[in-house]
Amino acid sequence: MSPEFLTIGMFVTLIVFIVLGLPLAYSLAGTALIFGLLENGFNVDGLLGFFINNAWGTMNNFVLVAVPLFILMAQLLDRAKISDALFEALYVVMGRIKGGLGLAVIFVCVILAATTGIVGASVVGMTLLAGPKLLEKGYNKKMAAGLICSGGSLGILIPPSIMLVVFGGLTGLKETSVGALFAAAIAPGMLLALLYMGYVFVVCQVKPTYGPAISAEEASTYSSQQKMWMVIKSMVPPLVLIFAVMGTILGGVATPSEAAGVGVLGAAILALARGNLNWQVIFDSCKATLRTTSMVMILVLFGNLFSATFLFVGGGDVITDLLIGGNLPPGVVLSIMLLAVFVLGMFIDWVAILLVCLPVYMPVSMELGFDPLWFSMLICIVMQTSFLTPPFGYSLFYFAGAAPVGTYRMIEIYKGVTPFIILQALGTLLCILFPALITYIPSIVFG
């Protein structure tokens, strides 16, 4: 069979399996099995050997050791409830500003992103903690939904991020090592957070009813000294942990796996200091870590089988010839690839996008002369949007599930996140036009 037929057939079969409701991991493995047999003439022994070698190479990637450690760190921090104290402090400090509570939500989401790196924990936590207060203070429902969903989604981009660890492990390139990706993601992550905060601030100044300030009486409950102490006490511990993890990686003191171990120890100390560390918390954290890690690893394993089979049948060459052989300008090719990632994000999660697109996109980007780190970070920024884009944005379902029953209709949540999706597109455009937003920090840290 021709490579063109097999390439189209693999994508169509994968889509059919997903639409039928089969688990993504089994859809990837089943597609790889069917088309691997078609390509090698139904030589079962040969294909089995091919799959075994690929699986061994995947599981022998020591970068992936950081995945369960970062997940365990996130689970411990989630149970330590560090966001509660921080939000309470910012609530009384920023509440007198129009839109101040919204700004506080995004700020806390940034801190959670830099400590936990798990979107579900951030969105659910902020929905339970800040959602009722925002509505109680008269915030516009759609804006409240949008800022919690978008702020919580920063956890997949701002390091330490599980997505960046998996991305670096899959590429195997020095230019896109986990440390380099962590450094490159700092500025884009902060840029998106500032765009969100700027939007909330401006809208609430123009339309004060969208984000009214709290009353003077409520704000005066604490003295200036008390407010300052509340902020310091709630911010210092997570900031110390952030610098301990990121500083050891960017400073070249530790590998990502070693830094993740430092993060687990720091998270346990924080939980202990807040009186939230006991055997039940440890058991629940380890159980959740095992479940999440197993899900990620089986997706990585079967996704690599799909990618290897796709390249085996000649799919990589077909896509490369299609994108490059048409003599399209590099900017147009880049736009096509990013648009494809955006559209895929409406229907499947970031793991599937990575495993399907990365083996095809990286050779094309290198053929076009793109900086590998810059191109990789653009893909990651667009993949973050997959948590917000209807109909299957995970953050939207996290929010809807955690919000009080009957408070929101899905259409209200969809409308609420739309401005933030546009802001993400603006952030991506800025990173395209000004590559230094991505490359400057890595160049300073790693030379």
Q: Which two tokens stand for residue 355?
A: 């495993």
Report if residue 159 sits inside a domain: yes
Report if residue 21 sits inside a domain: no
Report if residue 344 sits inside a domain: yes
Using pLDDT thresholds of 50, 70 and 90, give the confidence band for residue 219. low
Report if residue 38 sits inside a domain: no
DSSP string, 227-248: HHHHHHHHHHHHHHHHHHHHHH
Mean pLDDT for 310-328 is 79
- Least trusted range by pLDDT, from 162-166, 249-253, 377-381: 249-253
Mean pLDDT for 153-161 is 87
Q: What angle do CA 138, 142, 147 make, to 5 degrees?
A: 90
**What are φ and ψ of residue 278, in 5° steps?**
-150, 180
Q: What angle do CA 394, 184, 116 make, to 5 degrees?
A: 45
Has residue 117 got a pLDDT over 80?
no
Report if residue 300 sits inside a domain: no
Using pLDDT thresholds of 50, 70 and 90, give the confidence band for residue 397. confident
- Least trusted range by pLDDT, from 13-27, 113-127, 236-250: 113-127
Q: What angle, rounded to 10 degrees, do the helices at 256-273 and 178-206 form?
A: 50
224-259: burial string, b at 16+ Cβ within 10 Å, e else? eeebeebbeebbebbeebbeebbebbbeeebbbbeb
225 closest CA partner among 84, 89, 111:
89
- Domain residue limits at 390: 65-277+313-446
Mean pLDDT for 422-428 is 95
Mean pLDDT for 316-324 is 77
Report if residue 426 sits inside a domain: yes
Has residue 18 got a pLDDT over 90?
no
Report if residue 283 sits inside a domain: no
Domain count, the chain: 1
**CA–CA gap between residue 38 and residue 36 (Å, rounded):** 5
Report if residue 273 sits inside a domain: yes
Q: Which two tokens stand for residue 153?
A: 């989604």
Task: Pick from 98-112, 130-144, 178-192, 336-350 the range whose average pLDDT is largest.
Answer: 178-192
Has residue 380 got a pLDDT over 90?
yes
**CA–CA gap between residue 116 and residue 286 (Å, rounded):** 15
| DSSP type of residue 252 | T
320 closest CA partner among 51, 1, 39, 3:
3
With beta carbons less than 8 A apart as the criterion, state whether 246 and 159 touch: yes
**CA–CA gap between residue 300 and residue 32 (Å, rounded):** 13
Mean pLDDT for 264-290 is 88
What was the pLDDT predicted at 306? 84
- Least trusted range by pLDDT, from 179-183, 281-285, 407-411: 407-411
What was the pLDDT predicted at 24? 75
Using pLDDT thresholds of 50, 70 and 90, give the confidence band for residue 377. very high
3 state SS of 403: coil
pTM of the model: 0.84
Q: Model confidence over 57-73: pLDDT tens digits?
A: 777 877 778 888 888 88
- Least trusted range by pLDDT, from 116-120, 153-157, 232-236, 363-367: 116-120
Using pLDDT thresholds of 50, 70 and 90, give the confidence band for residue 437. very high
Please give the share of the chain, as a percent, with pLDDT higher than 70.
98
Using pLDDT thresholds of 50, 70 and 90, give the confidence band for residue 81. confident
Mean pLDDT for 391-400 is 82
Mean pLDDT for 339-361 is 82
What was the pLDDT predicted at 354? 84
Mean pLDDT for 426-436 is 96
Mean pLDDT of the chain: 86
